[in-house]
Amino acid sequence: MEDSKSFTHPATPNLKYGIREIVDVAAKLKEIDPTYNFVWENIGDPIAKGWPVPPFLKEIIKEEVDRPGDAVFGYSHSRGAVGTRKWVVDYAKHFSPSSILDYEDVVFTSGLGSSIAILYQMLKPGRRIIQPAPAYPTHSSFESFSAGAAPIAYKLDPKNNWQPDLAHLEEQLQKHPEIVGLLVINPNNPTGAVYDEKTLEKIAELAEKYHLFIVADEVYFRMVYNGHRHNQITEINRNRVPLIVLRGLSKDIPWPGARCGWMEFHYTQNQTDFADYAAAVKQRLLLEVCSTTLPQTVLPKLYEHPSFEDWNKQYNQGLEVAANQIADILAASDSLKVIRANGAFYLMPLFKEGILNNRQTLPIKNPEVKKYIEFLAGPASLPLDKRFTYYLLASAGIVAVPASDFYGPFPGFRVTTLDRDPARRKTTYERLVRAVAQYVES
Ligand SMILES: Cc1ncc(COP(=O)(O)O)c(C=O)c1O
């Protein structure tokens, strides 16, 4: 009887976003003990980590804001400013000369997160998009929410620099004929991996063999270092299978608060089903009126500014130094397996097998905080890596996200590599290594 009155969507538990869920736990600890001064390694926000907004970006915004007519304060086209969508077509051609993308197949949303939500929402019930594991939870959660079932995933292989496990991928495709699409996140969040050409070639082959479309989340494609390069899926796939490329402003420049992302539907000409899917997404967008006008308006000027490429180069150099320094420090731990990041701004160290149990703890000075953490760590079903991150937060003040919150099949945690200050990085990560040792030995 009780159940019939409930009106909350039954798939709500499928919506998980550990990257911010831990923020609520930290807020609670701060409420109990205001002396906490947390190190936020949970979220990829360069502004929060002290990266300055480049002056040329501020100048471009000011110019647009002051333009007579105040157009940037108004609504814009429901699929995104036409001029900017045409610019996206040229941008795609710049990186992939074979591209025949039409600007009518480019759509803007308020942040790429919104594109992702809409993409899965418009999927026919029962049809699935296979996810990587570990994965960026917005993808896996929305896919799983729409399906009302657990994500169907292929493993990323830590023994092979976090490249996709292609044998496992094919096994899953054979097992699940309901899969119609394949998600690739490259460069990868949460692992920091950059996929090599051979891997992407094999992914395109599998997509062709199993008649799938590819969703390529390339939001980090300009963040590649350690001598690696980004291989464009548009060039590798060409017109073999329909392709959705996801990009955005959030990571290309320190302005994630702009909330500006876009989807490119490549090769709608080749398949009516895919064209219908793109049309459904566009129809859905009409109902939202439009997405953020100002960022869309300044976007082409930003990327074409004479300072942008230099700025991007320096940004990547900074990320490379930070990622390597952090990996070196973490690699000193006997309990962790560290796979170096070559792109994006994350690293996911794993615990060596069998090293965690549900009795391990770290010292917590404040008795009320200790009680609260013991309560959180109580449930027998709590993943062991999540238990570790609770103790790390309360004892060492470091906010990290457990690998299990990324649907990761291996226990570990994700940190960001965004801290700009080398001395602070050293202090934070040496403290983390000590905390891991103390936790494992407790
Ligand atoms: C792989 C990936 N895709 C999409 C997004 C969402 O980006 P946005 O800030 O534009 O919503 C993120 C954000 O961290 C991400 O890591």
> pLDDT band for position 3 (50/70/90)?
low
Distance 37 CA to ligand 1 centre (A): 26
User: For all residues of the chain together, what is the average pLDDT?
Assistant: 95
- Topology given in CATH for the domain delimited by 2-51+310-441: Aspartate Aminotransferase, domain 1 (3.90.1150)
Q: Which atom of ligand 1 is nearest to the CA of 259?
A: 10
325: CA distance to ligand 1 center in Å? 24
Is residue 288 over pLDDT 90?
A: yes
Q: Is the pLDDT of residue 281 over 70?
A: yes
Please give the distance, rounded to the nearest whole angstrom, from the Cα atom of residue 176 to the centre of ligand 1.
27
Determine the residue of 47, 131, 142, 189 to mutate for testing ligand 1's pocket, defined as the one with the most ligand atoms within 8 A of the Cβ atom.
189
pLDDT band at 16 (very low <50, low <70, confident <90, very high): confident
Average the pLDDT over 18-37 and give the result.
93
Taking only the tens place, the pLDDT of each residue in 102-159 is 999 999 999 999 999 999 999 999 999 999 999 999 999 999 999 999 999 999 999 9
For 247, the 3-state DSSP assignment is: strand
179-185 and 213-217 strand pairing = parallel
Express each pLDDT in 360-383 by its tens digit: 999 999 999 999 999 999 999 999
Nearest ligand 1 atom to the CA of 136 is: 1
249 CA: nearest ligand 1 atom = 10
Measured distance CA(418)–CA(30) in Å, rounded? 23
Q: Is 113 in the pocket of ligand 1 (CB under 6 A)?
A: yes
Query: Residue 214 has what DSSP assignment?
Result: E
Distance (angstroms) between ligand 1 centre and the Cα of 49 equals: 17
Q: Is 185 in the pocket of ligand 1 (CB under 6 A)?
A: yes
414, pLDDT greater than 80: yes
Among 297, 283, 311, 154, CA closest to 222: 311
Residue 20 has pLDDT above 90, yes or no: no
Q: Which two tokens stand for residue 182?
A: 């394949």
Domain 2-51+310-441 and domain 55-304, same fold? Reply is no
The pLDDT confidence band at residue 270, using thresholds 50, 70 and 90, is: confident
Q: pLDDT for 153-191, tens place per residue?
A: 999 999 999 999 999 999 999 999 999 999 999 999 999
Q: List pLDDT tens digits, range 296-350.
A: 999 999 999 999 999 999 999 999 999 999 999 999 999 999 999 999 999 999 9
Residues in the chain: 442
pLDDT at 388 over 60: yes
Residue 112 CB less than 6 A away from ligand 1: yes
Pick the CATH number of 55-304 from 3.40.640.10, 3.40.50.150, 3.40.50.1100, 3.40.50.10380: 3.40.640.10
Domain-by-domain residue ranges, the chain? 2-51+310-441, 55-304
CA distance 319 to 325: 10
